Amino acid sequence: MIKQAKPNEIQYHIGLSKNMIKNAEYVVLPGDPKRSESIAKIFDPNAILLADSREHASYLANFHGHSILVCSTGLGAPNVGITIEELAVIGLKYYLRVGTCGAIQPSIELGDVIISTASVRLDGASKDYAPVEYPAVSSFEFTQDIIEGAKKSKAPFHVGITASTDTFWQAQERYDSYTGYILRSKQGAMKEWRALNVLNFEMESSALFVMASVMRLHAACITGVVAKRVESEKVSLDTKKGAAKSNWEKIALDGIYKSMKRRGLIK
């Protein structure tokens, strides 16, 4: 039985109700709450703040006469799980994660965008929704819309498989942690995933994809490259991070436009 919230019922974590989102079906999901406002304002310069609860900063934009929600998730798969559960019960159907990642293929440059078609399930949260044999795949039509949007935006992008982890250092085989120690079972992980044609590491997409599939929702994921792991474990905080943000914002705008047009919401 599908749960639906009452119109004025405020969800405990996100601080939103069905009435507040004004029939929005699309939601953009940055991890960082500080990104919510700027993302919302690429859709609508007059986007309004709806709620600021815990790690969830939510803005409502009007885009071609339709409401679009931007709601930050916080970092990692468990936070994504909570966010999706509460957004689903107030009526959201289309979920686009935007964020940053570390690329592990040498052909991918800082500032490029990766569009994930599927994720390697290295997280724990998704296992509470489906067994490990269940694939973490993006929604085909929605992801195709995002790819078409990327082509229109002219931003540099790559399409493929992402590895999604619960830990930033150990599971992604980063040696610049406090101890510098990686379990033997994790040593060589980056080389192995690179050989298997995985493009990047991030921390949310596998939970998002599994939940969306199980819950009959639509999910896509785009991440800007801020670390080129074949060269360095360092995260780029200079203009390249700004370029990644600018590129994913353009792709999000054009991709959601393509999706809405395909569905007949925009003439």
pLDDT at 235: 84
Q: Which of 25, 35, 55, 86 does the annotation list as catalytic?
A: 86
The CATH number of residue 170's host domain is: 3.40.50.1580
pLDDT at 1: 73
pLDDT at 69: 98
Indicate if 174 belongs to the active site: yes
**pLDDT per residue rounded down to tens, the chain (267 residues):** 788 889 999 999 999 999 999 999 999 999 999 999 999 999 999 999 999 999 999 999 999 999 999 999 999 999 999 999 999 999 999 999 999 999 999 999 999 999 999 999 999 999 999 999 999 999 999 999 999 999 999 999 999 999 999 999 999 999 999 999 999 999 999 999 999 999 999 999 999 999 999 999 999 999 999 999 998 888 876 655 678 888 889 999 999 999 999 999 998
216: Cβ–Cβ under 8 A, 6 or more apart, which residues? none
Q: Which of 13, 54, 66, 262 does the annotation list as catalytic?
A: 13
The reply to whether 214 falls in a domain is yes
User: Identity (one letter) of the amino acid at 266?
Assistant: I
CA–CA distance, 256 with 265 (Å, rounded to integer) = 11
Centroid of chain to Cα 100:
9
The reply to whether 80 falls in a domain is yes
Q: Which of 35, 56, 174, 218 does the annotation list as catalytic?
A: 174
Q: For the chain, how many structural domains are there in total?
A: 1
- Would you list the DSSP string of 155-223? --EEEEEEEEES-SSTTTT---SSS----TTTTTHHHHHHHTTEEEEESSHHHHHHHHHHTT-EEEEEE
Separation of first and last alpha carbons in the chain: 34
**Domain hosting residue 250, numbered range:** 19-262
The reply to whether 114 falls in a domain is yes
Q: Which of 56, 97, 158, 229 does the annotation list as catalytic?
A: 229
pLDDT at 241: 63
The reply to whether 3 falls in a domain is no
